[in-house]
Structure 1
Amino acid sequence: MPPLDPVTGHLPPGRYRTTLGHIRHRFVDHPEFSDSTTRQTIWDGFLSYLTAWETSQEPFGQPILHTLWIAGSFISDEVNPQDIDVSPVYDEGIISNLAGSQGIGKVKALVGHRKKLVEKYKVEPFPIPWRSLETTLLPTTLLEHEQNYLAKRGGLDDWWQRIRPPGPKAAALAPDVTSARGYLEVTW
């Protein structure tokens, strides 16, 4: 994981694979955040969220959560972020095949109900329902649900690399929509 940009306070643009241990070391235990009153609580909630994933997948005997993108103020130099933004990349095909199965609602709850998840875990999810695609080079030849997957994944990749303008919380608009920060990816 590269160092934070001293000007923006964010990772340089791009997606960086890392481990939970590295994230904890850099964004929870690092001396830069010794005065934080929120980071440890957010981290503990995030770990509880991951435990909920493990527990909810267990009855089905197969992994549903493939990877997790981590972004936003938690992975910046902000001392007291309010939550941790994540994009759980989960296998939509498995969930579809398990529709109606006992316990599948627990899995679905981890990618929906954003407000409840922020309250319970301090985790704000922006899910990506993953699909196995033969190719991504000719999107117009793909089925609609496959095109939707590509659009969602690409849209969130773009979103996580934007920096919001200063002031009240608002979406970045041109010319501020270019890649200006990075985000992290953890795989299992």
Structure 2
Amino acid sequence: MLPALDEQTGLLPLGRFGASLEEIKSHYVDDPRFAKSATRAEIWQHFESATDGIRSVVPVVCVWVGGSFLTDKIDPDDIDLVYWGEDVLVDQVTDPKDRYILQMFGMNQVRPATGLRVDTRYCLWHVFPEADRAHSVEHQSYALNRGYWDDFWMRKRNGAKEDPPQRPDALPQRGYFEVTLDGFHGV
């Protein structure tokens, strides 16, 4: 069961919550409270298309879903996503077209290139059996990205997108979902 939105803020409670695609769609697209939304169904279809696209290139361990789509806002502009793929599998992608697709996801260029209403990033999941002893560049990069995006998704901008960030924007205020797609299997 998904956590309820805070009645005062309209946000998810603070934290990362496991969820399925079906649960998110049921709560944030099909729920009667969003019946008047002109954007949610289309954004969800765009999310499904983007997810199918990246998964056609490389298995996706999971996707983190956040942003205004996971609020009480009737008509969000897009859905915010961080796709996680295992580094050794991503390194095996050699086709230039497929590498370009991964680059588009990683640099948030999917919407400008395709018109899909998705804000995307792509990060590498690095498997290391003893994380506290990991001194490899790959593991340090993974840990940095994981911490960065975890911190990012818990923030909420208090002004408009074009406004300069303020200290209150950096405070943890909301949660996000982690959806397992192809799973944490390792090689």
TM-score, length-scaled by structure 1: 0.84
SS, match of residue 65 in structure 1: coil
Q: 1:171 to 1:7 in 2, by over 3 A?
A: farther
Identical columns (%): 28
Counterpart residue identity of residue 127, structure 1: Y
Q: Is the 8 Å Cα contact of residues 110 and 119 (structure 2) preserved in structure 1?
A: no
Which residue in 2 is equivalent to 1:115? 109
1:147 aligned to 2:140? yes
TM-score, length-scaled by structure 2: 0.84
**Cα distance in 1 for residues equivalent to 2:110 and 2:161:** 23
Which residue in 2 is equivalent to 1:25? 26
1:95 aligned to 2:97? no
Counterpart residue identity of residue 164, structure 1: R
SS, match of residue 80 in structure 1: coil
Residue 21 of structure 1: how far off its partner (Å): 0.9
Which residue in 2 is equivalent to 1:132? 127
SS, match of residue 8 in structure 1: coil
Q: Unpaired segments of 5 or more residues in structure 1?
A: 58-63
Residue 51 of structure 1: how far off its partner (Å): 1.8
Aligned length: 179
Q: Unpaired segments of 5 or more residues in structure 2?
A: 182-187
Structure 1's consecutive aligned runs of 4 or more residues displaced over 2 angstroms after TM superposition are 53-57, 99-107, 109-113, 115-121, 134-138, 166-178
Q: Is the 8 Å Cα contact of residues 56 and 106 (structure 1) preserved in structure 2?
A: no
Show the 5 A alignment for 1:29-178: 29-57=30-58, 64-96=59-91, 98-101=92-95, 104-105=98-99, 108-109=102-103, 111-117=105-111, 119-138=114-133, 142-170=135-163, 172-178=165-171
Residue 108 of structure 1: how far off its partner (Å): 1.6
